[in-house]
């Protein structure tokens, strides 16, 4: 049984991932600023943590077999409307937060039974697709993709590093974009599979990437976008 660390595991994709990992884990540590929808206890431990603050990070178990960094931003504005502070905040949360997370857990990442440990980060479909109103978040997530490939090379064969690049996933971050049936229908129509993504979709892929079942996958950015990035239906 494995130990896992999930940053941002008290809501959205992270919360769903914790629910998938906990039944078969020794322990799942969750770092987030508040408990939100998480129910700590048993194999799930919540540790208060603001990854962007200068405070010391929580103590970690002696070894961790998998780690996922789930915090992110959805800051959709025209380039003209974006301030330097917008770019700075997206950079802090998406890239520098991930760097701080990985600096902390990297020395503790150790595989079991000959399998490497595994790390999962999150990008966005907008890095590869070039979407309007995404300049700030796409710039930050593009840096995340570079980090994934560099670390995958540097940490192989001991640790696998991959990222998931979702399109719109129905989480609290995008509530205003899916706030009416009409908005939801219009958004779903953009995808070849005619629906928006769910936290369960993203968590299932993250769980797969953290498991030995994906043991020959590293340095990859996997699209999770209902076909948007590759299909023209």
Of 2, 10, 136, 141, the catalytic one is 141
**Tokens representing 195?**
């629906």
34 near 10, Cβ under 8 Å?
yes
Return the pLDDT at 178.
87
**Burial (Cβ within 10 Å: 0-12, 13-18, ≥19) of residue 164:** buried
Catalytic (active site) residue 77 = no
Confidence (pLDDT) at 175: 81
Cβ atoms 4, 29 nearer than 8 A? yes
Looking at residue 196, its pLDDT comes to 95
Omega cis (within 30) before 157 = yes
Identify the structural domains of the chain with CATH numbers, from first to last. 2-222 (3.40.50.720)
Q: Which residues of the chain are under the pLDDT cut of 70?
A: none
- Spot the catalytic one: 2, 123, 136, 214: 123
Question: Is 34 in the active site?
Answer: no
Write down the pTM of the prediction: 0.96
């Amino acid at each position: 049984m494995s130990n896992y660390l999930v940053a941002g595991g008290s809501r959205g994709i992270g919360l769903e991932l914790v629910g998938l990992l906990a039944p078969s884990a020794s322990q799942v540590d969750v770092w987030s600023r508040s408990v939100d929808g998480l129910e700590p206890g048993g194999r799930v431990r919540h540790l208060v943590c603001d990854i962007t603050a200068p405070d010391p990070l929580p103590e970690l178990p002696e070894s961790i077999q998998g780690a996922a960094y789930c915090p992110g931003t959805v800051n959709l504005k025209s380039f003209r409307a974006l301030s330097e502070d917008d770019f700075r905040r997206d950079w802090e949360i998406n890239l520098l937060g991930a760097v701080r997370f990985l600096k902390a857990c990297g020395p503790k990442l150790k595989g079991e039974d000959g399998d490497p440990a595994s790390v999962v980060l999150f990008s966005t479909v907008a890095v590869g697709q070039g979407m309007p109103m995404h300049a700030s978040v796409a710039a930050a997530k593009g840096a995340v993709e570079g980090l994934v490939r560099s670390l995958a090379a540097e940490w192989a064969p001991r640790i696998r590093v991959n990222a998931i690049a979702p399109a719109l996933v129905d989480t609290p971050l995008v509530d205003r974009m899916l706030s009416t049936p009409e908005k939801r229908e219009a958004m779903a129509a953009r995808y070849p599979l005619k629906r928006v993504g769910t936290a369960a979709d993203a968590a299932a892929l993250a769980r797969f990437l953290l498991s030995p079942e994906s043991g020959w996958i590293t340095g990859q950015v996997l699209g999770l976008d209902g076909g948007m990035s590759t299909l023209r239906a």
